[in-house]
Amino acid sequence: MGVFTSTGGQDPAGHEQVVFCQDRHTGLKAIIGIYSTALGPALGGTRFYPYTNEDAALNDVLDLSRGMAYKNALAGLDLGGGKAVIWGDPELDKSEALLRAYGRFVQSLGGRYYTACDVGTYVADMDVIARETRFVTGRSVEHGGAGDSSVLTAWGVFQGMRAAAEHVWGSPTLAGRRVGVAGLGKVGKHLTAHLLDDGASVVATDVSESALRWARETYPQVDLVADTAALVAADIDVYAPCALGGALDDDTVATLRARVVTGGANNQLAHPGIDKLLADRGILYTPDYVVNAGGVIQVADEIEGFNFERAKLRATRIFDTTREILRLADAEGVPPAAAADRLAERRMAEVGRLRTIHLS
């Protein structure tokens, strides 16, 4: 470790491959982490972020690439898990040359890793990277891409929520339920539309004035509250975190009135013990990486030549996967996150093992 400047902090044992990429001329410093290719080429986005040091960048790529292996396995994709980080400030350091230099490193892996958008990278950036590599998804529709992945992310979250509703209330619908949506961004907006269509009432919050204006103008029936604390304390049946990570911390769990938590945000649990706290309070939590996999399903479909209906069908199956995880969690007496991990590991082991059958 310590390839760029310092000593890496986290042991990358368990990952198949960790690649450090540097191009001094453009200032590119990137790390590509491939956790597993047991199910196929590793797919995961590229995060462009001003990490404080190299250890932070390395730790992030190791965590994120492992998470993608589990997410892709449970999404039923023939894809392994990987992720990349570009260490820099996207506002200051991003340039055509830097992105293209990065694209050449992705290409050099020969298809072991496919990239996509993440924090700090956008569809337009993927189009630039695609000028140097075939192994990129999340491109614009004009370039054969799947476009904005939040469309199927929200659809998948809605499917996971339906499965949770069935588990708790006996019927796979949100009709008559009150759902609290924290974050009316790309995912939260689409999710709000699905919920209202299904007959739910929605109460929401956002820190952005333009998001609140959108809600007032588009859906005047949505109740808006001042902040997430007010939303969590409100009389809601379902809490849908759709803003940043860490939405479920000790204080939130202690005050939450909802029976179900299902949302689009990544990394909702502030620490690993939170799912047990939720379970102890009788709150059903559907693991974020299960229900928000619609986005990766959408961009993964590009590899076959993007077909929206096929991708939507796959994202709809998040209902069945969530249902199976909740059933397994009950049967084995573990929180849903532990059940989800077991299912993902089983698929990686069982399907991954098939590659040991020799083909001439």
Ligand X SMILES: NC(=O)c1ccc[n+]([C@@H]2O[C@H](COP(=O)([O-])OP(=O)(O)OC[C@H]3O[C@@H](n4cnc5c(N)ncnc54)[C@H](O)[C@@H]3O)[C@@H](O)[C@H]2O)c1
Would you please indicate which residues are annotated as catalytic (active-site) residues?
83
Of 151, 196, 154, 150, the closest CA to residue 173 belongs to 196
Other C-beta atoms within 10 Å of 326: how many?
22
Residue 154 Cβ, how far from ligand X at the closest point, in Å? 8
Residue 244 Cβ, how far from ligand X at the closest point, in Å? 5
Ranked by CB distance to ligand X, the top (closest) residue is 185
Residue 241 Cβ, how far from ligand X at the closest point, in Å? 8
Q: CB-wise, 94 or 100, nearer to ligand X? A: 94
Q: CB-wise, 286 or 292, nearer to ligand X? A: 292
Q: CB-wise, 187 or 260, nearer to ligand X? A: 187
Instruction: Report yes or no: 104 and 58 within 8 Å, Cβ to Cβ.
Output: no
Instruction: Report yes or no: 60 and 85 within 8 Å, Cβ to Cβ.
Output: yes
Instruction: Quote the distance between the C-alpha of residue 194 and its chain's center.
Output: 19
Q: CB-wise, 90 or 185, nearer to ligand X? A: 185
Q: Provide the token pair at 92.
A: 């200051």
Instruction: Report yes or no: 239 and 174 within 8 Å, Cβ to Cβ.
Output: no
Residue 207 Cβ, how far from ligand X at the closest point, in Å? 4
Number of residues that this document lists for the chain:
360
Of 108, 14, 120, the closest CA to residue 62 belongs to 14
Residue-wise DSSP of 115-179: B-B-TT--HHHHHHHTTT-S-B----GGGT----THHHHHHHHHHHHHHHHHHHHSSS--TT-EE
Q: CB-wise, 265 or 329, nearer to ligand X? A: 265
Of 216, 253, 250, 217, the closest CA to residue 233 belongs to 253
Residue 211 Cβ, how far from ligand X at the closest point, in Å? 4
Q: What does the binding site for ligand X look like in residue numbers (CB under 6 A)? A: 149-150, 153, 182-188, 205-208, 211, 228, 242-245, 264-266, 292, 295
